[in-house]
Amino acid sequence: MTVETTIQPPANRGLYDTDIIAWSEEQARLLRTGRLSELDIEHIAEEIADVGKSEQRELASRMAVLMAHLIKWRYQPQRRGIPVARGFSGKRGAFIVPESKARRGGIAKPYCDESQRCYRVRETCIAAENSCVTGMVSWRRTIRVQRHAIALRLKRTPSLKAVLRDADWQEEIWFDAVAAAGAEADLVDLPLICPWTLSRVLDPDWLPEIEPA
């Protein structure tokens, strides 16, 4: 006589759609207690696969941001920002810009450094440790931060290096970076293919400069 056995779906499976935290805690408890037949295998497999996809998405996002800023650094050098001025003594920090670049509105008296280079000081700004910062976003800092974060990510997840070497993936990242740089900095006629090697893009000491004619 043949006995048909029907496998019932896990009773806690509905938690996946209603309370993912409770679901994950329940799956962990079932694993620890060896109650494997009660596990929500289908959704566990999906979550495990998504971990890898999430790592790849973060890497792609950081690479696109890094490349977009390298593009802006290379193709819009006049907007790279002004070196940070340190030690300005005042009640509040201030955006310091060369007098030739100062705009109207919110501008206070000029400030001259020891070399008699004069600046105008904007009164309202963000200050940190009595240091003055420029009004422009520091592209150099963003490049440095993204490179460091990518290096840490690759150290923690070495298998992501294979993703970096994928030509189609690199092309997609470059396309995203070009689109972002074009929208943010109004750049046009950018290269269709990344002109830099991956090792240069990730090199913490390298920045793209305009090559002499």
The pLDDT assigned to 12 comes to 61
Residue predicted with more confidence, 212 or 176? 176
When pLDDT is cut at 50, 70 and 90, the band that residue 35 belongs to is very high
Tokens of residue 3, six digits: 């006995």
pLDDT in tens, 86-138: 433 333 333 444 444 444 444 344 444 444 444 443 333 333 333 333 434 58
pLDDT in tens, 3-34: 444 444 555 667 888 898 999 999 999 999 99
What is the SS3 string spanning the chain?
CCCCCCCCCCCCCCHHHHCHHHHHHHHHHHHHCCCHHHCCHHHHHHHHHHHHHHHHHHHHHHHHHHHHHHHHHHHCHHHCCCCCCCCCCCCCCCEEEEHHHCCCCCEEEEEECCCCCEEEEECCCCCECCECECCCCCHHHHHHHHHHHHHHHHHHCCCHHHHHCCHHHHHHHHHHHHHHHHHHHCCCCCCCCCCCCHHHHHCCCCCCCCCCC
Q: What percent of the chain has pLDDT over 70?
A: 65
